[in-house]
């Protein structure tokens, strides 16, 4: 029986070649010259294991919610030149608004915030940067923001917007809102709009900025009271409720755009040019996403993994949604599709380690990936053959494309990331078999690697198609702090959302369980500790955005977005492994259903 679908082995894939263990990049022409196209077939009776199906674990994952025929039926209605031409005209009007130097600074900041939250800010990065630079260069702006001349809302808004765009603004501007005892003035609690702005701003804090910790506690307490007592107009309270569910800084941009477009449309002072431009742009981008999704759906069906590995999660749509959370811009389709392939393979192989494989089999698979030798497939059990070859051919294709287009052999960096993740998977499998609960630090040192963030970000760096630098390559190889922090956020969010289900499946280790065992804390206390650690990690990553980095700004934003999609996916449980109606509705609003115009 042929285990590798012909789609997997078409002429765009690299196969039947051993690259050996990950090494330093070789000569740029070597990989290109040695790209051999030869179908790999695996006889299903070659290797078997003496494990009965009844002895293997089962996670009883729910079936796929999004079938192939439905995805292929999507119409991509706004992929039409008429809509694009109309959107271009509207966006040019918005561009003129942003560039207008006669507009009051504070009105301009409100405009920039609306443009960003409506989801069209990506079209005006240069213009917004220039406008913010003019603000900071203005003596009037500096004077009014540092003295008693602007409201709490204006001060907090300017702070948040400037930090969002990478300006290292001081927190001293909030000192004037404190009383003689060093507490925020009680009278501020009456200003619900100002409190909401300060609450949102507090999530862009760095380590050691105590005033923003105090601001978060102060505003959180009083905003909850305002919600309970109805102390503001309906629209402001709707925004407060939205922020208390998840702060703006932790939300994925495209879902926020959908929500904000619908909220903004209710405003009496709404700028109709902005609103119409945002609606059209959302629908046009959605059509691009639908086209990408349909291509990935065909790829996934051709791979045959879901049909042959019934124990694994069939989550193509959820993987695609995840990548949209990391990168939604229409011009970055290739990056989005590449990351969808990576996420889909991670999901399948994760189920091999978590659910189906025996420890002996997992050790064989881990060694095969570390060697990156196609001959290793001969010693693998049947179900692992297709996993290995799917991974081998897909990663080699990425490497070939990079060598062909950029003259860089990226294969050693990709295989190292995959190999290290699988070693971390294997360590967790050993813990599970032995019912071992490691020390909290030991768990986390392994878990930030096993969560797959490094694999995703390593691929993302190369798929960006930017100038690859030696400094960035060294930082990838040495696991730069940016990769560690976004992966830690990913892991902690994952544990907060999935620990209960994993315990039921017999998976012993999670940050919750490890902390409870080591510290003697209650389950509630452990959850509080993990949330506190999550908050501190966000502070470090906020600082990364304004610090000197070996990575380009788009990659830093993708790493931050990895944290955001993690917050979104695991906000109410396991949105990837066990998607519920909330997840389905989010996917529909972002990818399936256009905004009425």
Which of 227, 247, 275 lies at the terminal end of a domain, its last residue? 275
pLDDT classification of 143: cutoffs 50, 70, 90:
confident
24 lies in some domain: no
Per the CB < 8 A criterion, the answer to whether 230 and 237 are in contact is: yes
> Which pair of tokens denotes residue 403?
């060598």
From 530, 535, 461, 457, select the one nearest 250 (Cα to Cα): 535
In a shared domain, residues 121 and 135: yes
| pLDDT tens string 537-547 | 999 999 999 99
| pLDDT tens string 239-259 | 999 999 999 999 999 999 999
Which of 275, 295, 311 lies at the terminal end of a domain, its last residue? 275
pLDDT classification of 508: cutoffs 50, 70, 90:
low
30 lies in some domain: no
Reduce the DSSP state of residue 178 to 3 states and report it: strand
80 lies in some domain: no
Q: Report how far residue 160's alpha carbon sits from residue 200's, in angstroms, rounded to the nearest whole number.
A: 7
* Structural domains counted in the chain: 2
Per the CB < 8 A criterion, the answer to whether 169 and 546 are in contact is: no
Q: For residue 472, what are the domain limits? A: 276-590
pLDDT classification of 268: cutoffs 50, 70, 90:
very high
Q: Report how far residue 571's alpha carbon sits from residue 250's, in angstroms, rounded to the nearest whole number.
A: 11
In a shared domain, residues 500 and 511: yes
Number of H helices, E strands in the chain: 26, 0
State yes or no: pLDDT of 482 exceeds 50.
yes
> Looking at residue 116, which CATH number applies to its domain?
1.50.10.130
In the chain, % helix, strand, coil (3-state, to 5) comes to 70, 0, 30
From 8, 592, 597, 68, select the one nearest 324 (Cα to Cα): 592
In a shared domain, residues 191 and 232: yes
CA distances from 168 to 112, 160, 171, 547, 589 (A): 18, 10, 9, 9, 34
Average pLDDT, the chain: 89
Per the CB < 8 A criterion, the answer to whether 562 and 225 are in contact is: no
pLDDT classification of 40: cutoffs 50, 70, 90:
very low
Task: Output the pLDDT for position 282.
Answer: 97
From 465, 462, 458, 466, select the one nearest 483 (Cα to Cα): 458
Which of 275, 290, 320 lies at the terminal end of a domain, its last residue? 275
22 lies in some domain: no
In a shared domain, residues 114 and 249: yes
> Which pair of tokens denotes residue 123?
């079209």
In a shared domain, residues 237 and 161: yes
Q: How many residues does the chain have?
A: 597
State yes or no: pLDDT of 216 exceeds 60.
yes
328 lies in some domain: yes
State yes or no: pLDDT of 14 exceeds 60.
no
363 lies in some domain: yes
Backbone angles phi, psi at 167, to 5 degrees: -95, 130
| Among the ranges given (111-115, 136-140, 299-303, 414-418), the one the predictor scored with the smallest mean pLDDT | 136-140
**Gap between the terminal Cα atoms of the chain:** 52
| pLDDT tens string 336-393 | 999 999 999 999 999 999 999 999 999 999 999 999 999 999 999 999 999 999 999 9
State yes or no: pLDDT of 580 exceeds 60.
yes
Task: Output the pLDDT for position 419.
Answer: 98
In a shared domain, residues 199 and 116: yes
Q: Report how far residue 129's alpha carbon sits from residue 166's, in angstroms, rounded to the nearest whole number.
A: 10
∠152-155-160 over CA atoms, to 5°? 120
In a shared domain, residues 269 and 288: no
283 lies in some domain: yes
DSSP code, position 267: -
33 lies in some domain: no
In a shared domain, residues 299 and 251: no
From 344, 324, 346, 345, select the one nearest 335 (Cα to Cα): 324
In a shared domain, residues 514 and 492: yes
User: Residues 87-106, buried b or exposed e (16+ Cβ, 10 A)?
Assistant: beebbeebeebbeeeeeebb
**Burial class, 197, CB count within 10 angstroms (exposed 0-12 / middle 13-18 / buried 19+):** buried
> Which pair of tokens denotes residue 597?
């115009």
> Which pair of tokens denotes residue 174?
């909030």
In a shared domain, residues 250 and 318: no
**Which residue in this structure is represented by tokens 């399948």?**
348
In a shared domain, residues 443 and 413: yes
In a shared domain, residues 267 and 336: no
Q: Which residues contact 221 (CB under 8 A, 6 or more apart)?
A: none
> Looking at residue 362, which CATH number applies to its domain?
1.10.600.10
Global pTM exceeds 0.85: yes
pLDDT classification of 179: cutoffs 50, 70, 90:
very high
Per the CB < 8 A criterion, the answer to whether 166 and 545 are in contact is: yes
Q: Report how far residue 323's alpha carbon sits from residue 337's, in angstroms, rounded to the nearest whole number.
A: 8
The continuous run of DSSP H or E covering 342 comes out as helix 333-351
CA distances from 16 to 375, 378, 403, 547 (A): 8, 12, 18, 44
As a whole number of Å, the CA-based R_g of the chain is 25
| Among the ranges given (371-380, 406-415, 463-472), the one the predictor scored with the smallest mean pLDDT | 463-472
From 277, 298, 307, 394, select the one nearest 346 (Cα to Cα): 394
């Amino acid at each position: 029986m042929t285990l590798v679908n012909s789609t997997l082995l078409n002429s765009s894939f690299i196969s039947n070649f051993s690259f050996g263990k990950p090494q330093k990049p070789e000569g740029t022409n070597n990989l290109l010259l040695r790209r051999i196209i030869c179908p790999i077939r695996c006889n299903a009776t070659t290797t078997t294991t003496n494990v009965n199906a009844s002895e293997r674990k089962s996670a009883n994952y729910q079936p796929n919610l999004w079938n192939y025929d439905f995805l292929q039926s999507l119409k991509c209605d706004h992929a039409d030149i008429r809509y694009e031409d109309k959107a271009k005209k509207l966006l040019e009007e918005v561009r003129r608004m942003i560039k207008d130097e006669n507009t009051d600074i504070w009105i301009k900041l409100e405009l920039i915030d609306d443009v960003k939250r409506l989801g069209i800010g990506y079209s005006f990065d240069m213009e917004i940067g220039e406008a913010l630079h003019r603000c900071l260069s203005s003596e009037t702006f500096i004077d009014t923001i540092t003295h008693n001349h602007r409201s709490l809302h204006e001060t907090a808004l300017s702070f948040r917007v400037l930090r969002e765009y990478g300006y290292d603004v001081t927190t001293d501007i909030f000192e004037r809102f404190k009383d003689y005892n060093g507490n925020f003035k009680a009278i501020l609690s009456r200003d619900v709009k100002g409190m909401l702005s300060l609450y949102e701003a507090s999530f862009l804090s760095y380590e050691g900025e105590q005033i923003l910790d105090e601001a978060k506690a102060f505003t959180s307490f009083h905003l909850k009271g305002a919600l309970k007592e109805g102390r503001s107009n309906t629209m402001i309270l709707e925004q407060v409720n939205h922020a208390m569910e998840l702060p703006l800084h932790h939300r994925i941009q495209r879902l926020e755009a959908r929500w904000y477009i619908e909220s903004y449309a209710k405003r009496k002072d709404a700028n109709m040019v902005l609103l119409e431009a945002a609606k059209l742009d959302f629908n046009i981008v959605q059509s691009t996403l639908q086209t990408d999704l349909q291509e990935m759906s065909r790829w996934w069906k051709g791979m045959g993994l879901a049909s042959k590995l019934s124990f694994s999660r069939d989550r193509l749509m959820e993987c695609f949604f995840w990548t949209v959370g990391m990168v939604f811009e229409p011009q970055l389709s290739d990056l989005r599709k590449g990351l969808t392939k990576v996420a889909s393979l991670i999901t399948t192989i994760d189920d091999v380690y978590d659910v189906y494989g025996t420890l002996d089999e997992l050790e064989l698979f881990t060694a095969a990936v570390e060697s990156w030798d196609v001959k290793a497939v001969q010693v693998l059990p049947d179900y692992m053959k297709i996993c290995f070859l799917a991974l081998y051919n897909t990663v080699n294709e990425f490497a070939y494309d990079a060598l062909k287009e950029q003259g860089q052999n990226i294969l050693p960096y990709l295989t190292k990331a995959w190999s290290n993740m699988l070693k971390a998977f294997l360590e967790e499998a050993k813990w599970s078999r032995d019912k071992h609960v490691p020390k909290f630090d030991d768990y986390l040192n392994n878990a930030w690697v096993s969560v797959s963030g490094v694999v995703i970000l390593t691929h993302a760096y190369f798929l960006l198609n930017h100038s690859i630098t030696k400094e960035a390559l060294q930082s990838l190889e040495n696991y730069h702090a940016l990769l560690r922090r976004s992966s830690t956020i990913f892991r902690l969010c994952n544990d907060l959302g999935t620990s209960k289900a994993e315990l039921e499946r017999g998976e012993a280790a999670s940050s919750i369980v490890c902390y409870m065992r080591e510290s003697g804390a209650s389950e509630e206390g452990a959850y509080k500790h993990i949330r506190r650690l999550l908050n501190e990690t966000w502070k470090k990553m906020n600082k990364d955005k304004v610090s000197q980095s070996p990575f380009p700004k788009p990659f830093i934003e993708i790493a931050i977005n990895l944290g955001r999609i993690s917050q979104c996916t695991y906000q109410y449980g396991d949105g990837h492994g066990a998607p519920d109606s909330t997840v389905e509705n989010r996917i529909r609003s972002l990818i399936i259903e256009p905004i009425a115009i």
